[in-house]
């Protein structure tokens, strides 16, 4: 069988597996194998692509494409929405768009205006403000904002926000940074937390502790599933780089 024919059958088999796993009508199997090329093209545009766009990978690809084709679209739309209706939600959307464009100082001002008055303890607005303050290099302000958030909503002291708090304390030179990182690791030793703890220890001169944290990242990657490795690819690469620097 010519190579092209084998390739067509392989593509048809790929879509057939997708059809079975996603519960499509059985007639698609006939279409795919009776007309390998045409059937695959039809299935791809009729079923596969419309579903794929709503997967994590599809949404990520769509965002990446939008960033290339029209990188400032969200900022324009957020700015227009805020100009038309200057609500707290629209201001926060504008702040998030500014932060995504690297305009952290402007984002801070908008988030500060949002996280005030009736919304002074709103968890989403305070979290956005803290992220913007960290991005703007205002570590002490970010730590204070997160402490304000945790005081109003103790259940928020976990995951990304707990890591951000430890990072903010470290950036501000606060002596409680190590204890904050250790508390994060004790409750949720995620790949991101392990890497950032290792980076903190490395900067603090604790090479042994940093090595242990970086090695924990690589162990997690080795035993984790493919999706987990993809999700944490940045931290895994950084941990490998950190270990390599220690060896030189």
Top-confidence residue, 53 or 239: 239
Q: Give the per-residue pLDDT at 221.
A: 87
Condensed to tens digits (0 to 9), the pLDDT of residues 111-156 reads 999 999 999 999 999 999 999 999 999 999 999 999 999 999 999 9
User: Please, what sign has the CA dihedral across residues 110, 115, 118, 123?
Assistant: positive
According to CATH, where is 1.25.40.10 located in the chain?
69-172
Whether the pLDDT of residue 175 is over 90: the answer is: yes
Nearest one of 133, 20, 127, 23 to 12, comparing CA atoms: 20
Q: Are 31 and 39 in contact (CB under 8 A)?
A: yes
Residues in the chain: 248
pLDDT at 65 over 60: no
- What CATH number labels 69-172? 1.25.40.10
pLDDT value at residue 132: 97
Q: What is the pLDDT of residue 11?
A: 81
Q: Could you give the CA distance from residue 193 to residue 188 in angstroms, rounded to a whole number?
A: 8
Task: Return contacts of 124-129, CB within 8 angstroms, 24+ apart.
Answer: 124/92, 125/88, 125/92, 126/152, 127/156, 127/161, 128/92, 128/95, 128/96, 128/99
Q: Report d(CA 55, CA 2) in Å as an integer.
A: 34
Model confidence band, residue 219 (pLDDT cutoffs 50, 70, 90): very high
Return d(Cα 95, Cα 87) in angstroms, integer. 12
Percentage of residues in the chain having pLDDT higher than 90 = 62
The HSE-up count of residue 206 (CA atoms within 13 Å, CB side) is 12
pTM of the model: 0.71
pLDDT at 54: 46
| Ranges 62-66, 94-98, 200-204, 225-229: which has the least confidence | 62-66
pLDDT higher at 212 or 229: 212
Residue 222: count other Cβ atoms within 10 Å of its Cβ.
9
Please report how many Cα atoms fall inside a 13 Å half-sphere around the Cα of residue 181, on the Cβ side. 24
Q: What is the pLDDT of residue 237?
A: 94
Calculate the average pLDDT of the chain: 87
């Amino acid at each position: 069988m010519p190579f092209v024919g084998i390739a067509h059958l392989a593509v048809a088999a790929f879509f057939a597996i997708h059809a079975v796993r996603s519960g499509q009508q059985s007639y698609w199997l006939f279409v795919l194998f009776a007309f390998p090329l045409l059937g695959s093209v039809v299935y791809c545009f009729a079923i596969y692509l419309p579903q794929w766009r709503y997967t994590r990978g599809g949404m990520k690809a769509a965002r990446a494409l939008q960033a290339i084709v029209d990188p400032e679209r969200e900022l324009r739309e957020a700015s227009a929405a805020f100009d038309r209706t200057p609500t707290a939600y629209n201001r926060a959307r504008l702040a998030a768009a500014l932060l995504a464009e690297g305009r952290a100082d402007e984002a801070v001002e908008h988030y500060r205006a949002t996280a005030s008055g009736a919304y002074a303890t709103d968890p989403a607005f305070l979290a956005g403000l803290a992220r913007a303050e960290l991005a703007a290099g205002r570590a002490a302000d970010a730590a204070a904002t997160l402490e304000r958030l945790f005081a109003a909503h103790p259940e928020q002291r976990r995951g990304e926000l707990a890591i951000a708090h430890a990072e903010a304390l470290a950036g501000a030179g606060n002596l409680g940074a190590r204890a904050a990182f250790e508390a994060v690791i004790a409750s949720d030793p995620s790949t991101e937390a392990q890497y950032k703890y290792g980076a903190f220890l490395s900067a603090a001169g604790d090479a042994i502790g940093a090595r242990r944290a970086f090695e924990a990242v690589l162990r997690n990657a080795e035993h984790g599933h493919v999706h987990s490795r993809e999700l944490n690819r940045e931290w895994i690469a950084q941990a490998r780089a950190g270990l390599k620097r220690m060896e030189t």
